[in-house]
Each structure stands twice: as structure tokens, then as C-alpha cells.
């Protein structure tokens, strides 16, 4: 017997909200929405463990809008539109994304919905706040700037939401959050969402939520979505860039991959890797914390429109990016924090769509990989990455070449390896084949030849560069 499909009408939401989400194509609630919506509507404090992509924004967004809807009005007076719902997010991208959703959910109501975050001019935000915003999404620092300049007061807040609370702690926002919470009325509803339930998060929940908050968990704690196929390759450090180029250029069936988010651990790698990919003829761009908001938005829009096919990102920059049904996420670097793995691969397989998460690992990553396995309670089965490179003409002409010693002629199961042509160990790293100059912009794709077949001499020892000793 099949269970009848649930619909949003079961929650008793206002017809204007139902009509808005129906226009967005939401048919049935996701598991987190099914659990969270009735609880939030009942007014209790909620602690939600939900990874990105589960539909958590609507899980809290729809019921909080419903709760403040009775006070919605069309008066022109700012006093009639105080902040009643406050959503705090760690990054501007997430703030933007949450706000975008809330604007849509409330589009058929008179509720005023807005967002403030740092990195952009304060003036337009100030004007918007002075006119009155009932549902405000904000990053903590910029919100405090507005509080200080008296463009907003928080004394009428009825519901506060901490979204991606774990990330806010990681980013050192605890003092700012405490200051903001002290400005809110004591009687209010508090909701907290986090991808992971670490001891620090539990401690924050203890201070921030009512004594026994309702707990909503949709998947196992710290789990990754079942819809994401996780592939782990083991290879040598010096092969990572060529391996990435090979994966991007040939995918699984020979076709180039599109709409790929590539994660790296450092801004400098981000810039350089994007440049190297461009030189290999791949439409790539970088998104990292040093880019202005306008640059990030432009890169994201180009990625969404397909103009840019590969976006290389650091964790901070990628936080909160909402790109529908992203098919592939590649971890070029194994994240230092195991939790970041969950966040990174949460970019794919969203809301039930199928996704693939590929991670490149080297011997030096074994501890980080074990930490991820421990966190997600899953053992990876790393595959040896087979780099296929064209033989160099001079080797072919000479009629012989040597495999580097670490490449055996048999694979780990004793089978003969296919002849892969020249297995020329990359003595240089294509990312670092040109000395870095601060402030440089990615070079245009002037060298269409894949990096894998280039024969330039090493300019910098790879180990020195990848080993972390190199600073901007």
C-alpha cells in the first residue's frame, strides 16, 4: 500500500502563502518541512539538524511568515512595520538566498521582507530599514552596524532564527550573536538550524533556546544525503591538477562536465586553479572571500547561466550558494574540518536530485579523510586515479620510456594495467608554473593545450608550494 502524498495544505497555512509556494513548484513538503512546520507554527523553540539542500529554509520560513501574517498591513508608516522576524546567517550569500526565498513566499502578502549584509554600501540598506521591514535576514556584523547607527531597532522581534549556526560559531560570530540576542525581547520564539550537532552547538542551544526545545532531525546526525554518490580518488599531490582537468574534460563518458563546483582550502589555490583551468580551455572562475560582493554575484550568475562551467570556491565563499540541482561537486582539497565535507557535498543532491561528489586525496590527507569517515559514519573505498596522458613525441620516437617508480605495471589486484602511454610524472605543478603576482586577474584561455600534455620545465618545487610555506 502506498502512502498518500502529503501536501502543504495539511498545515493550515494562509492561502496567499500556499499560492506563492505552488507558483515556485513546491508540491509536497520535504521531510524537514513536514516535521518543522507544525512545531514552528505552535510557537515552541526548535533546534533543527538539517543539512543544506533539505528544504530547511521553507521549513522555518513558511511558518514564521504565517505567525506574523496577522499583523501584516499596508500602512505607509514605518512604525507599523517593525522587525518581527529576524534571520541571522553566517554569510552574505546565504543571507541573499534565504531572503530571496522569503521574498517569494511572502510575495502575495503585504509583509515587507528585506536583507542586510556587509561588503556593500550601507545607505540603500539604511533607507530600506527606515521605511520598515518586518522580516529581516542579516549577517551579524552588518546588523550591529545598523543597530549602532540607529537605522533599526530589534525590540519588537517575535521570532529569531539562527541559520547554519555551526558555521556562525566556526566563523567566530558568537560575541556578535550574543550582543544581538541581548537586544531582543525576552519573550520570543527562537529557532536554530545547523548541519551538524557538535558539542559547541549543543552548548549554544542551551543558552539560546528554551529549556527543552523541540528537536527536529531529518537525517542521521552529520550524515550526507543518500542521493549523493561519493567517489574518492587517491593520487599523488603533483597529479591533482591534471587529474582535475581530466575529470572536467572527459567526465565519465567522454563529455566535459558542466556546472561543477570545485572546493579548495585556500584563497591562493582558488585563484590559481581557476587560472590554470582557464588556460586548459575550461570556462572557470574563482569565488573566494577576497572578492567583492559584486564580483561574487557576477561569478555566481555566470555559473548559474552556464556561461561559466566550473566554479572554484573556498568554503567561506561557497557557504549558502543555492544552485538548483548541481550535478557534481569536486573536493580538489580534502577539507581541514570534517564538517565542511558535509557542507560542501550538500551543494549537490539537493531536494532529492541525484548528485556526485568526487574527492581527490593524497597520502598526506589520511587523517582528515578518517575524520570525515568517522563523522559521516561511512567508509570510503578510494580508487587509484588513472591519469591518461598523451605520449610525448620524443619518447615515442625513442621507442621507450620509463614509468616512474611509484607506478606499478599491475594494479592493486595484480591485473596488468592498460598501457596508458607516457606516464610522465609532472615535475611541475600547472597551478604554480607562473609565479604569483598579487592582484592578478585570471588570464584568458590563451593556451588551449591541456595542461596534462604541456612540457614546460619546473619553475617552482611543488612540495614547497603545496606544503603551505608559501604566503601571499
Site of interaction with ligand AMP (CB under 6 A): 26, 29-30, 33, 52-58, 322, 324, 350-351
Among 359, 311, 363, which residue's Cα sits nearest to residue 334?
A: 359
Non-local (6+) Cβ contacts of 121 within 8 A are: none
Of residues 164 and 365, the one with the C-beta less far from ligand AMP: 164
Of residues 29 and 450, the one with the C-beta less far from ligand AMP: 29
Find the shortest distance in angstroms from Cβ 208 to ligand AMP: 21
Find the shortest distance in angstroms from Cβ 50 to ligand AMP: 7
Residue length of the chain: 472
Q: Residue 387, CB half-sphere, CA atoms under 13 Å: how many?
A: 28
Give CA–CA dist 458/426, Å, rounded. 9
Of residues 193 and 233, the one with the C-beta less far from ligand AMP: 193
Of residues 57 and 125, the one with the C-beta less far from ligand AMP: 57
Strand partners, 416: 410
Query: Which regions of 326-445 does DSSP assign to beta strands (E)?
Result: 328-331, 355-361, 383-384
Pairing of strands 189-194, 310-313: unpaired
Cβ atoms 323, 167 nearer than 8 A: no
In the three-class reduction of DSSP (H, G, I as helix; E, B as strand; rest coil), residue 159 is classed as strand
Of residues 7 and 455, the one with the C-beta less far from ligand AMP: 7
Find the shortest distance in angstroms from Cβ 297 to ligand AMP: 17
Of residues 171 and 323, the one with the C-beta less far from ligand AMP: 323
Find the shortest distance in angstroms from Cβ 184 to ligand AMP: 24
Sequence-distant contacts of 125-129: CB under 8 A, at least 24 apart = 125/151, 126/151
Burial class (CB in 10 A: 0-12, 13-18, 19+), 307: exposed
Find the shortest distance in angstroms from Cβ 105 to ligand AMP: 10
Find the shortest distance in angstroms from Cβ 149 to ligand AMP: 31
Amino acid at each position: 500500500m502506498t502512502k498518500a502524498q502529503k501536501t502543504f495544505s495539511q498545515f493550515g497555512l494562509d492561502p496567499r502563502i500556499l499560492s506563492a509556494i505552488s507558483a515556485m513548484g513546491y508540491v509536497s513538503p520535504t521531510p524537514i518541512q513536514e516535521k518543522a512546520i507544525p512545531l514552528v507554527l505552535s510557537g515552541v523553540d526548535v533546534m533543527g539538524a538539517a543539512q543544506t539542500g533539505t528544504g530547511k529554509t521553507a521549513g522555518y520560513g513558511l511558518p514564521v511568515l504565517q505567525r506574523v501574517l496577522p499583523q501584516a498591513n499596508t500602512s505607509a508608516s514605518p512604525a507599523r512595520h517593525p522587525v518581527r522576524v529576524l534571520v541571522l546567517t553566517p554569510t552574505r550569500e546565504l543571507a541573499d538566498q534565504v531572503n530571496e526565498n522569503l521574498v517569494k513566499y511572502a510575495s502575495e502578502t503585504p509583509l515587507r521582507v528585506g536583507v542586510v549584509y556587509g561588503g556593500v554600501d550601507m545607505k540603500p540598506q539604511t533607507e530600506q530599514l527606515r521605511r520598515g521591514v518586518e522580516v529581516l535576514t542579516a549577517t551579524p556584523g552588518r546588523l550591529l552596524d545598523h543597530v549602532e547607527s540607529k537605522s533599526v531597532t530589534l525590540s519588537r522581534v517575535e521570532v529569531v532564527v539562527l541559520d547554519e549556526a555551526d558555521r556562525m560559531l566556526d566563523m567566530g560570530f558568537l560575541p556578535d550573536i550574543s550582543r544581538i540576542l541581548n537586544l531582543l525581547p525576552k519573550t520570543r520564539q527562537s529557532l536554530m538550524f545547523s548541519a551538524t550537532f557538535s558539542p559547541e552547538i549543543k552548548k549554544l542551544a542551551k543558552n539560546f533556546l528554551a529549556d527543552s526545545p523541540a528537536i527536529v532531525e531529518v537525517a542521521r546526525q552529520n550524515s550526507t544525503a543518500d542521493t549523493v554518490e561519493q567517489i574518492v580518488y587517491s593520487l599523488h599531490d603533483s597529479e591533482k591538477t591534471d587529474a582535475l582537468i581530466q575529470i572536467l574534460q572527459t567526465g565519465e563518458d567522454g563529455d566535459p562536465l558542466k556546472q561543477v563546483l570545485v572546493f579548495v582550502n585556500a584563497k591562493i589555490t582558488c585563484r590559481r586553479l581557476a587560472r590554470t583551468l582557464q588556460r586548459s580551455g575550461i570556462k572557470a572562475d574563482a569565488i573566494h572571500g577576497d572578492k567583492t560582493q559584486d564580483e561574487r554575484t557576477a561569478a555566481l550568475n555566470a555559473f548559474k547561466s552556464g556561461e561559466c562551467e566550473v566554479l572554484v570556491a573556498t568554503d567561506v565563499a561557497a557557504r549558502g550558494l543555492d544552485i538548483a540541482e548541481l550535478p557534481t561537486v569536486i573536493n580538489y582539497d580534502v577539507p581541514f574540518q570534517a564538517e565542511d565535507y558535509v557542507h560542501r557535498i550538500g551543494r549537490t543532491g539537493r531536494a532529492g536530485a541525484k548528485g556526485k561528489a568526487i574527492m581527490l586525496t593524497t597520502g598526506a590527507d589520511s587523517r582528515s579523510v578518517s575524520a570525515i569517515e568517522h563523522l559521516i559514519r561511512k567508509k570510503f573505498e578510494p580508487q587509484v586515479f588513472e591519469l591518461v596522458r598523451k605520449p610525448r613525441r620524443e619518447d615515442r620516437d625513442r621507442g621507450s620510456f620509463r614509468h616512474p617508480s611509484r607506478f606499478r605495471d599491475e594494479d592493486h589486484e595484480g591485473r596488468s594495467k592498460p598501457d596508458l602511454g607516457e606516464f610522465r610524472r609532472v615535475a611541475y605543478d600547472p597551478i604554480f608554473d607562473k609565479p604569483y603576482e598579487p592582484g592578478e586577474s585570471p588570464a584568458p584561455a590563451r593556451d588551449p593545450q591541456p595542461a596534462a600534455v604541456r612540457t614546460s620545465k619546473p619553475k617552482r618545487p611543488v612540495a614547497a608550494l603545496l606544503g603551505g610555506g608559501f604566503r601571499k
